[in-house]
Every structure is written in C-alpha cells, then in structure tokens.
Structure 1
Amino acid sequence: MTGKLTAQPGKREELADILLQAAEGMKDNADCELYLVNVSEDDPDAIWVMELWRSAEAHTNSLKDPAAIALIQQARPLIAAIEPVKLRPVGGKGF
C-alpha cells in the first residue's frame, strides 16, 4: 500500500510525528514488512506512507489494535485529504 496524505496547512510535521509513532509500533508486528514515512520535497503539506503487509487481512487486523486506533484518532483532524494507491509488488531488492 502506498498513500498520499495531505496535512492541514502547517500541520505536516505534527502528522508525520504521529505516523512515525505508528511505524515504531509496527516494529514488533511480523506481518508488517515495511512501514515507511516520507515527506514531499515539492509539497509542504504532503506525506507519503509506504506499507508492505503479508496480507490484506494482516493490515485490516492491525487497524483493530487499540494503540493504532488511538493514533488514527489523533491524526484525523490533521489530515486534509488521503489518496490511497494499492500496488502489488512483483519483485526487486528488499522483496
């Protein structure tokens, strides 16, 4: 999964910090292969999150975790827009 999150103006760093907390929480989740937070160099409000999960079900289950729910609730007011992109990796370094 790859997604572009557009933060409310001036809130990108605050939103990125929450997403980095989510990434930290994924360190012990064996089903999460990758959770990478990127900020755009061209758009001061854009954040790209790249996730690689063993299955769609594993991702869905991760969203039921109380810590994840709390971070989502904390992040929602900071998000102006979300543009999800679903990709299927076929190979490459690190895969």
Structure 2
Amino acid sequence: MSKFGMYAKFTAKPGQRDALAAILLESAAAAEAVDECELYIINISDTEPDILWVTEVWSSPEDHAASLTLEDTQAAIRRAMPLIAGVESTKIKPVGGKGLLFS
C-alpha cells in the first residue's frame, strides 16, 4: 500500500493566524496517538502574515479519510472554520526521504 500525503495552504482571516495555528497544533498533538498519521507539521510563512501550511503523511489515503470522520477532528474543524478565509490543498505521494519509514 502506498503512503498518502498532502500540502494544505490555509489563509487565515486577518489577525487570526496564531489562533488557527493553535487549533492545528492541538490536532498535531492528538495525531501523536494515531499510528497511521506519520507526519503532521504546521508551518507559518515569514512573508505572508495570514498563511499557514500543513504537511501531512498518512499510511494510506483510507487512513487519512478515516481521520476526518473522528469526533475530535470534526470538533477541531468546527472551531477552525470561523478563522479560515480559504484553503488550497495538493495531494502528494511520498516516495522516500529522511524521516519516513518505507517498507
């Protein structure tokens, strides 16, 4: 089974980047307990004050989809939505590199 990854670019409403980052960091902490979530990194832009990037790697596309149905995930999404002006995402297929285990 191949891994599943995603880059998501969040545009926060003006002045809401840090509040959105806090919610995403809570989700990252919760993902520590999910074996199928192999990487969940929150990044902020040095040049765009309302932009955050999330880098995710999951064991499979199905594992990622299943994570979106969890009550904790749904609750975080509900809290984050009022802070978000837009989201763009790109699905990726990790093929190797430092930090990920491939079998």
TM-score by length of 2: 0.90
1:18-57 equivalences in 2 (<5 Å) = 18-57=23-62
Q: Which residue of 1 aligns with 2:96?
A: 91
Specify which of 24, 36, 61 is matched with residue 66 of structure 2. 61
Of 4, 8, 16, the match for 1:3? 8
- Where in structure 2 are there 5+ consecutive unaligned residues? 1-5
Count residues with an aligned counterpart. 95
- Counterpart of 2:22 in structure 1: which amino acid? D
CA distance in 1, matches of 2:60, 2:97: 18
Structure 2 residue matching 1:72: 3-state secondary structure: helix
- Root mean square deviation of aligned Cα: 0.6
CA distance in 2, matches of 1:30, 1:54: 8
Q: Which runs of 4+ in 1 moved over 3 A?
A: none
Greater helix share, structure number:
1
Paired-residue identity, %: 47
Structure 1 gaps of 5+ residues are: none
Matching residue's letter, 1:2: Y
Structure 2: distance between partners of 1:93 and 1:31: 18
Q: Which amino acid is 1:26 matched to?
A: A
Matched, 1:15 2:20: yes
